[in-house]
Amino acid sequence: MCGIIGIASTKSVSSNIVESLKKLEYRGYDSSGIATIDDNGINEKKCTGRVENLEKILFKTPSNGKVGVGHVRWATHGAPSKVNAHPHSSEQVSVVHNGIIENSSLLKEDLEKKGYKFKSQTDTEVITFLITEFLKDFDLVKAINKTLSKLKGSFALGIIFKKYADTVIGARKGSPLAVGYGHGENYLGSDSYALKSMTNKITYLDDGDICLLNNNKVEFYNSNNKKINKEVLTLSNDENTEDKGDYKDFMSKEINEQSITVKTCIKEYIDETRKDINLYNFPIKPNEIKKIVLVGCGTAYHSCIAAKYWFEELTTIPIETDVASEFRYRTIQFDKKNLYVFVSQSGETADTFAALDLCKKNNVKTCSVINVVESSIARLTDFVLPIHAGPEIGVASTKAFIGQMLVLYILAIKISDSRSEISKSDYTKKIIELKKLPDLISKTLKCEDKIQVIAKDFVNSKGVIFLGRGSSFPIALEGALKLKELSYVHAEGYPAGEMKHGPLALIEEGLPVIVLAPSDRYFVKTISNMQEVIARGAKVLLVTNTNNDVNSENIRFILTVPKSDPFFSPFLLTIPLQLLAYHVAKLKGCDIDKPRNLAKSVTVE
């Protein structure tokens, strides 16, 4: 989490730093700050809250300087406050930091003995003082490497100096960092997204790399202070996705564009003429796959659970799913015949990256289902399956979830065909059927008016329970996650059959329960579970795709999504739940695109 920007230029940098920080707010938004080098040395300004607060400060008291760093924070060590906001500066050095320094307390004790006075509760200030100390005896690159060798944990750093007034230094271990090349200026950024409006030429730092930039050159060094060469990449020019268009927020735009993103993704994977799925150079022969392990966090993990049901229906391959933060610390028997699949929108999630890294160290085959194809996870996996959803700005993941499920579903069909576990005619039928999905999503989106009415009825609830069976179960989890992260209402998703094993005790008069019951082989069972909660006073919203066989008596709301191929139910059931979370949050006046305490890209453990 946290966003870093650095610019070395021939002109004043503060306004460009602020503009880039606005793009980085998805990484953290509890405080922000900037430091530039002017004639008097380091000029630091910081504040709590959004970047617009920093902008107001700079409007009243502008910062000059042709070199500077900026930061948006997602608090780890120390509460969100002005004093804990980055940059953290000494007389000589100013530092912005993303990540966690695990041995900061020990380092702090040593530095205090040397007379350094700490102002903040952060782990970052130790970096500022270590660099200040080493600069007394070493040249710039050596002083940075000496400092890095003392740090345990993960970090990306941006650093400026009073003495080296034209220079910005970047360093990376565990947290992503990129360099961008401009005309008369060069940039440092937490990711390419922050740099994209300024340049499409970038280089990613690897762990242990240091970069040194000024307005006309960029140099890279390794941990032995040796100069190294790095590849310059040209980024694709995506459509202008920073524009909300007529939408009030990115989330509603992203929900409403799901039929388009699904269409784009299908076009990328389906060969129309051959009625086949394009998947070349897959890292493992489908016939030889012994087991598939699907790993992700949050919403991405929910797409893994949905995929488990599809793979199990379509293939004979055993499937395992896990959240990355658990997977990375398990004692796992890795097997070269297994395929390890990592699902991530951002491609920068620290736990998912660490889980992937563990697989790489065990020499097993890996593949990623990713939105940001230039990301660290995409670059480390053997094979990348992009979801083609375009940048997702809203912190609550919507179109990426649908995209992740879609790509995993396409992968399941393809693997099933390659293993001859599905007949050719069924395979072709599935491909033809897929083309109907964008239209089905458009039709489902029309439920928004009804959802607004339901949201009014649910808005004052203290808690909500979501129930589903089979592939509707992960959608229950996802619906609950969306509601809690957006509207701060306590919500839980359960397999409907689990209710009797404890959660049924929560049901009381008027408690909202959302029951997902498409017409599938679980339908009758789920409806019985629904009756059990109704009998205990629950206020039920039934989301289904059939009007038959349901006694509507005592069901508060019934929402019918279009009838479809049973494999599409998870996609269509998701949409009303996204809209419900959105409208409940709106009614409560919550910040839709930036819910409290969260960040879009979770780059700390």
Residues that bind ligand AGP (CB under 6 A): 297-300, 344-346, 349, 352, 395-397, 485, 601-602
- Which CB sits closer to ligand AGP, 346 or 569? 346
- Per the annotation, the verdict on 47 as an active-site residue is no
- Which CB sits closer to ligand AGP, 325 or 444? 325
CB of 299 to ligand AGP, least distance (A): 3
- Which CB sits closer to ligand AGP, 186 or 349? 349
The three-point CA angle 442-448-451 to 5° equals: 140
Cα separation, 229 vs 250, in Å, equals: 39
Cα separation, 497 vs 302, in Å, equals: 18
Catalytic residue, chosen from 173, 263, 539, 600, is 600
The answer to whether residues 66 and 11 touch, using CB atoms and an 8 Å cutoff, is yes
CB of 302 to ligand AGP, least distance (A): 8
- Which CB sits closer to ligand AGP, 413 or 602? 602
Cα separation, 326 vs 540, in Å, equals: 34
517 forms bridges with which residues in the sheet?
Answer: 544
- Which CB sits closer to ligand AGP, 74 or 181? 74
Could you tell me the CA-to-CA distances from 122 to 74, 75, 388, 549, 602 in Å, in that order?
A: 12, 9, 38, 59, 18
Rg over alpha carbons for the chain, rounded to the nearest Å, is: 26
- Per the annotation, the verdict on 2 as an active-site residue is yes
Q: Which residue has the tokens 């040796």?
A: 226
> Could you give the angle at which helices 437-445 and 569-587 cross, rounded to 10 degrees?
30
> Measured between alpha carbons, how far apart are the two ends of the chain, in Å?
9
Q: Phi and psi at residue 447, in whole multiples of 5°?
A: -75, 0
The answer to whether residues 135 and 103 touch, using CB atoms and an 8 Å cutoff, is no
CB of 418 to ligand AGP, least distance (A): 27
Query: What are 80's two structure tokens?
Result: 């969100």
- Which CB sits closer to ligand AGP, 175 or 299? 299
Query: What are 139's two structure tokens?
Result: 């040249």
Catalytic residue, chosen from 2, 211, 297, 590, is 2
CB of 313 to ligand AGP, least distance (A): 24
Q: Which residues contact 235 (CB under 8 A, 6 or more apart)?
A: 192, 196, 200, 201, 202, 374
Cis peptide before 570 (omega within 30 of 0): no
Closest CB to ligand AGP: residue number: 298
Alpha carbon 439 to chain centroid, angstroms:
27
- Which CB sits closer to ligand AGP, 286 or 386? 386
| Torsion, CA 238, CA 244, CA 249, CA 251, rounded to 10 | -30
CB of 218 to ligand AGP, least distance (A): 28
CB of 397 to ligand AGP, least distance (A): 4
CB of 52 to ligand AGP, least distance (A): 22
List active site positions.
Answer: 2, 600
